[in-house]
Homo-oligomer: A and B are copies of this chain.
Amino acid sequence: MTPQNIDLSKLTPLHNTLTNKKKIIHIISEKYSPLSSQCQSELSNNSKILGIKKGEVLVKEGQYSDKAYFIVQGCSRAYYLKNGKDISDWFAFENDFISSINSFFRNIQSPHFIEVLENSTLLEISRDSIIELSDKYHDFERLSKTIVTNTMLRLQERIVSMQFQSAEQKYKDILSTHPNITQRIPLTHIASYIGITLETLSRIRGLKS
């Protein structure tokens, strides 16, 4: 019986969790940047799996949040309130990371909320663990650099998309990177993410292009 064929539900909860964690960390290592097995197991000891229900809020405005979350299953968003209006600022799906980046990196009060949009499984890692692992392991430092670099490039693309595009083009842009985002994220959130109103988005979608 190969590892892939183990029926996880038959194992004890503890063993199950450990097995899953190793798998998740292996995925992170594959997707972002390779980690030595020693570093992987130390990351395993410094992270925990969370099961979160749809609608729960992981971070609230004003909190100091020193956690980063890797999405194993489900999706989440970061948003902030501007004059009472809910503006989405980041979406994260399977194999993406999410955190309140201002609070996490600059150690200030979070301007963002982070909300789970589907029942989700997350891997939580604290800033202290990340700092410790980055100090100790060069390959972990590289992993975190890779994640930050990806994020930077994604933000840069988003600026270009927002700078001088029509509402319609901005919507097409997001569809081209996330073709089925509308099946998972309410339109209000998509609208504010691309910087247009819900009504405008609805009209754009009505056009048979």
Spell out A's residues near B (CB within 8 Å).
Answer: 80, 82, 85, 87, 89, 101-102, 105-106, 134, 138, 141-142, 144-145, 148-149, 151-153, 155-156, 158-160, 162-164, 192, 195
CB-based nearest B residue for A149: B148
A141-B145, A145-B148 as given contacts; A195 in contact with B162, CB under 8 Å: yes
A162 CA to B101 CA, complexed, in Å: 18
Classify the secondary structure of A's interface with B. Answer: helix
A101 CA to B192 CA, complexed, in Å: 26
Taking a contact as CB atoms closer than 8 A, the residue among B80, B155, B156, B164 that contacts A195 in the complex is B164
| Number of identical protomers | 2
A101 CA to B106 CA, complexed, in Å: 23
Report whether A163 and B195 are in contact in the complex, using a CB–CB cutoff of 8 Å. Answer: yes
A82 CA to B155 CA, complexed, in Å: 19
- 21 A-B pairs with C-beta separation under 8 A: A80-B160, A87-B163, A87-B164, A89-B156, A89-B163, A101-B156, A102-B156, A105-B149, A134-B142, A138-B138, A144-B145, A148-B148, A148-B152, A151-B152, A152-B152, A155-B156, A159-B159, A159-B162, A162-B162, A162-B163, A164-B192
A138-B138, A138-B141 as given contacts; A82 in contact with B152, CB under 8 Å: no
What residues of chain B lie closer than 8 Å to A162, measured between beta carbons?
Answer: 159, 162-163, 195
- A178: shortest Cβ distance to chain B, in Å? 17
What residues of chain B lie closer than 8 Å to A195, measured between beta carbons?
Answer: 162-164
- A171: shortest Cβ distance to chain B, in Å? 15
What residues of chain B lie closer than 8 Å to A145, measured between beta carbons?
Answer: 141, 144-145, 148
What residues of chain B lie closer than 8 Å to A105, measured between beta carbons?
Answer: 149, 153
- A93: shortest Cβ distance to chain B, in Å? 19
Taking a contact as CB atoms closer than 8 A, the residue among B85, B102, B149, B159 that contacts A153 in the complex is B102
What residues of chain B lie closer than 8 Å to A80, measured between beta carbons?
Answer: 160
What residues of chain B lie closer than 8 Å to A106, measured between beta carbons?
Answer: 153
CB-based nearest B residue for A111: B160
